[in-house]
Chain A
Amino acid sequence: MAGIEQSRIRNFCIIAHIDHGKSTLADRIIEMTGLLTSREMQSQVLDNMELERERGITIKSQAVRIVYRAKNGEEYIFNLIDTPGHVDFNYEVSRSLAACDGAILVVDAAQGVEAQTLANVYLALDHDLDVMPVINKVDLPSAEPERVIEEIEDVIGIEAADAPLISAKTGQNVEEVLEQIIEKIPAPTGDAGAPLQALIFDSVYDSYKGVIVFCRMVEGTVKKGTTIRMMATGTTAEVVEVGYFGAGQFVACEELNAGMVGYLTASLKNVKDTRVGDTITDAKRPCAAPLPGYKKVNPMVYCGMYPADGAKYPDLRDALEKLQLNDASLQFEPETSIALGFGFRCGFLGLLHLEIIQERLEREYNLDLVTTAPSVIYKVHKTNGEVIELTNPSNLPDPSEIEYMEEPMVKAEIMVTSEFIGAIMDLCQERRGIYQGMEYIEETRAVLRYHLPLNEIIYDFFDALKSRSRGYASFDYEIFGYQQSELVKLDILINKEEVDALSFIVFAGNAYERGRKMCEKLKDEIPRHLFEIPIQAAVGSKIIARETVKAMRKDVLAKCYGGDISRKRKLLEKQKEGKKRMRQVGNVEIPQQAFMSVLKLDDK
């Protein structure tokens, strides 16, 4: 593939607020460039993890190279780099953007500019990308393209007058998008003869090829046999294969030159060696400096993961190790719980990341898991001057040893129509938000700025936001530091025994309320036993709430009819089946989902 003129390459991504049609447009572009027939298209080609397709979101960055024959008769190479659409994966978004020269901004013709639209545009502008707006879903009855164009120009401040008005769903006007890509997105620059300098924007682990590194060539050339070095991690390796991204497959080629997007393999065994954002260079002829912007991503949310069947502990470890091969931001270390036995304390970028890993462990590795309530990282300042980063609430030192505690805070931007401003401000207030300001971006819409404890938003803030604004509010946040806070550990006692896996850290002012709700929730979750079970919430030695699970009710004395034993068996099997998903704590069997109860405290 050597010898492609840079002038005929376009490297771009599509950015959008969730559900504005990013993946659908990507599908349509791939379809219309003729790489796939309509019949071969499974909906949403780029989201190739089963989970992604089901949830309709993009988790991992993906890239595809397509060939477009333009109206001017020339053939162009388009490298479309898909970006994750969730704030958990912001860093990956940022790295994907860095691999591009331009971005297509998709805005829903009915919804207009949303919080993530803004956040993504700012991110793209930060990376010096040319942003090309596209108005999608113009076929909707509620579409108001003129208003949205105006909004883009006013709010974002980019030219949108000739933005293609399209329907990615029906394919209407998508051709126009393709033509504008050539026109509006700059061709890459860079010197194929210069020392190698390439940006890693993703990597996946393949059991045959080892780590496959996705990279954007900035300067120089790489081919089979080149000895490369990762500038941040220092890892060196000899390149085994280079290539580009066909539709759903890797296509090997001779070499990759400056301006191209492709992959390389080099018998690397661990994605940890190929951190997203790192710069690849030629070990023998290194470039002067790495590309800017590399940072190590650290988990924000921690939870305990335990195999439902204790004997599966080694299987869980293997599965986590395998997932980590592909996901450098996943961290885990062994821990032990009195209630749950041996397991792992795992760190994630956010709650969605956590859920995805959990589901993948269950689906792809067939593991039955018990997951404890997620927790953020608290800083515990001890009286002896020591500072502990607390990821597991049960490890909280004795209160007498604690000087004070700090919790992580986020800067949140919430975009909302004026009628819901009151409701959303109430919500932020309840979640201990500190009002920072509000700006009207147009007559009926405003951006609210709050500082919020991360702890208050990781569980269900997004759902609450949606329900209180009838789906109209959108939300984006970034971590900005730690703040001292009045925090206590809430313990749960079941049948008078403390269940360590149920403890959580809570703002002192909310302890009573949370404790009460937690007891109520557990009362519903824990099945009746042969005896009465008290459920108590305690802060220190003080009981602050209590509920009781009544003793088992008697079984109905069914008429066992005409020798129909299979019916009886089914009934008993059902009873038994329910028990398998229980954890024994003292005399009490606790259903596994109860350990996640704290997440659902606000369910109505």
Chain B
Amino acid sequence: MNMKELELYIHIPFCVKKCNYCDFLSAPAGEQKQKEYVESLRERIRSHGALGKACHVVSIFLGGGTPSILKPEQTEAIFTAIYDGFQVDQDAEITTEMNPGTVTEEKLLIYKELGINRLSIGLQSASNEELRRLGRIHTREEFLSAYRMARKTGFENINIDLMSAIPGQTLESYERSLRFTAELEPEHISAYSLIIEEGTPFYDRYGGGSHAEELPDEDTERKMYVRTKEILQNYGYHRYEISNYAKKGFECRHNLGYWNRAEYLGIGTGAASFLNHRRWTEGEEPVILTRREEMEEFMFLGLRKREGISCAGFRETFGEPIEVVYQGVIEKLTTQKLLTERKGRLALTERGIDVSNYVMSEFLF
């Protein structure tokens, strides 16, 4: 078997209600619209028949929006199309995202049946007040019952999403959210900061520095970040990527694929794909990456991983030693103690993670 490995991403652009911070492609929609979308998704999946025959799928990720908004039979219809058109590995990692406010036992049972073996649940905060501010549709209690239901149904690989820098959040309340989450012992925790994105209600309120007093200040944000690692480490999680923590062996393979520049096919409105040195968003023309762009990506994606990038891997991929291509840059960043070299790998230091955009941008030509 010399078939290509492929990751599949399926986008579900629907949600019950858009959150105040969300700028992803997602919006509430009527039943008819959802039905039509699922139908067109199935068609788009089928249209990739040739690719389906040439690859084997190592991971599937159902993202959104809120994929769990779909009716059980709709999710089933999507998976039937996938299994019909693609060869999915026996041990493939198959994830769906879930909003705790949309989970039912029936849905979970169907997920299990369809081969979904990993759940990613958006909790964001264990404080109901903060959840309200974010515009989430669920409470901490509803989350808890959804989580317990998932465990009861037999899901053994669960991720919980957490957010820091929420308006009104204090260091103490963030730590409570962290502990609350860790004590549930999910296999994986994503902890990232709120970003005020344009076109969101939060941007209207906080864009351009207004109402800054409601947001945690810079020092608090930094402490939140430091505490995330300390607290989660105590609970047995290790950070394997800038904002992702997992128990040993439960690192998200699908996500790691992005950082390792694995090939993936995204299906659904606005979904991104990366295949044959081309990147594209559904509905747009593919862009062929230049060799330099590929080198840049190798660096700025790879450095998101805690283990960093392999110098040998760089040479293997591009036929040139990294020390030559990035002469000066590596030295400079190493001197600045933002980058370390260990056992043939280059990785961000703690300080480097703090200013990761700066470090990564240095690798752009």
Considering only CB atoms and an 8 Å cut-off, how many residues of chain B contact the other chain? 45
Please tell me which one of the listed residues A530, A557, A572 contacts residue B193 in the complex, with CB atoms under 8 A apart: A557
Chain B 230-274: CB-based contact to A (< 8 A → 1; otherwise 0) = 000000000000110000000000000010000010100011111
Please tell me which one of the listed residues B165, B258, B274, B358 contacts residue A555 in the complex, with CB atoms under 8 A apart: B358
Report the separation of the CA atoms of residues A562 and B10 in the bound assembly, to the nearest whole angstrom. 9
Say yes or no for B14: interface residue by CB 8 A criterion.
no
Say yes or no for A565: interface residue by CB 8 A criterion.
yes
Say yes or no for B357: interface residue by CB 8 A criterion.
yes
Considering only CB atoms and an 8 Å cut-off, how many residues of chain A contact the other chain? 24
Report the separation of the CA atoms of residues A566 and B271 in the bound assembly, to the nearest whole angstrom. 12
How many A-B residue pairs lie within 8 Å, measured between CB atoms? Answer: 89
Is A579's CB under 8 angstroms from B354's CB?
Answer: no
Say yes or no for A575: interface residue by CB 8 A criterion.
yes
B221: chain A residues within 8 A (beta carbon) = 554
Closest A residue by C-beta to B261: A565
Is A565's CB under 8 angstroms from B195's CB?
Answer: no
Say yes or no for A556: interface residue by CB 8 A criterion.
yes
Report the separation of the CA atoms of residues A561 and B24 in the bound assembly, to the nearest whole angstrom. 9
Q: A555-B355, A557-B192 are in contact. Are A530 and B279 (CB under 8 A)?
A: no
Is B279's CB under 8 angstroms from A572's CB?
Answer: no
A2: chain B residues within 8 A (beta carbon) = none
List B161-206 residues whose CB lies under 8 Å from chain A: 165, 190-195
Report the separation of the CA atoms of residues A555 and B194 in the bound assembly, to the nearest whole angstrom. 11
Chain A 291-314: CB-based contact to B (< 8 A → 1; otherwise 0) = 000000000000000000000000
Report the separation of the CA atoms of residues A552 and B359 in the bound assembly, to the nearest whole angstrom. 12
Say yes or no for B86: interface residue by CB 8 A criterion.
no
Report the stretch among B296-304, B319-327, B339-347 that lies at the interface.
B296-304
Q: A554-B355, A559-B190 are in contact. Are A565 and B225 (CB under 8 A)?
A: no
Q: How far is the CB of B326 from chain A (nearest CB, A)?
A: 14
Is B300's CB under 8 angstroms from A560's CB?
Answer: no
Q: A558-B192, A572-B364, A573-B361 are in contact. Are A565 and B297 (CB under 8 A)?
A: yes
Is B358's CB under 8 angstroms from A575's CB?
Answer: yes
B296: chain A residues within 8 A (beta carbon) = 569
A419: chain B residues within 8 A (beta carbon) = none
Say yes or no for B100: interface residue by CB 8 A criterion.
no
Is B274's CB under 8 angstroms from A563's CB?
Answer: yes
Please tell me which one of the listed residues A530, A552, A558, A563 contacts residue B9 in the complex, with CB atoms under 8 A apart: A563
Please tell me which one of the listed residues B24, B272, B351, B357 contacts residue A563 in the complex, with CB atoms under 8 A apart: B272
Report the separation of the CA atoms of residues A554 and B225 in the bound assembly, to the nearest whole angstrom. 9
Is A560's CB under 8 angstroms from B9's CB?
Answer: no
Say yes or no for B63: interface residue by CB 8 A criterion.
yes
List B269-283 residues whose CB lies under 8 Å from chain A: 270-274, 279, 281
Is A558's CB under 8 angstroms from B195's CB?
Answer: yes
Say yes or no for B222: interface residue by CB 8 A criterion.
yes
Closest B residue by C-beta to A561: B24
Say yes or no for B18: interface residue by CB 8 A criterion.
no
Say yes or no for A553: interface residue by CB 8 A criterion.
yes
Please tell me which one of the listed residues A555, A565, A566 contacts residue B356 in the complex, with CB atoms under 8 A apart: A555
Is A566's CB under 8 angstroms from B272's CB?
Answer: yes
Please tell me which one of the listed residues A561, A566, A572 contacts residue B357 in the complex, with CB atoms under 8 A apart: A572
Is B355's CB under 8 angstroms from A562's CB?
Answer: no
List A235-282 residues whose CB lies under 8 Å from chain B: none
Say yes or no for B11: interface residue by CB 8 A criterion.
yes
Is B354's CB under 8 angstroms from A565's CB?
Answer: no
Q: A556-B195, A575-B357 are in contact. Are A562 and B266 (CB under 8 A)?
A: yes
Binding site for B on A (CB under 8 A): 530, 552-566, 568-569, 571-573, 575-576, 579
10 contacts between A and B (CB under 8 A): A553-B222, A556-B165, A558-B195, A561-B63, A562-B271, A565-B301, A569-B296, A573-B364, A576-B361, A576-B362
Q: List the 6 shortest-distance A-B pairs measured between CB atoms, nearest first.
A: A557-B243, A575-B361, A554-B354, A572-B361, A576-B361, A556-B193
Other 7 A-B pairs with CB < 8 A, given A552-B354, A557-B193, A563-B266: A530-B355, A552-B358, A554-B218, A559-B243, A560-B304, A566-B281, A573-B364
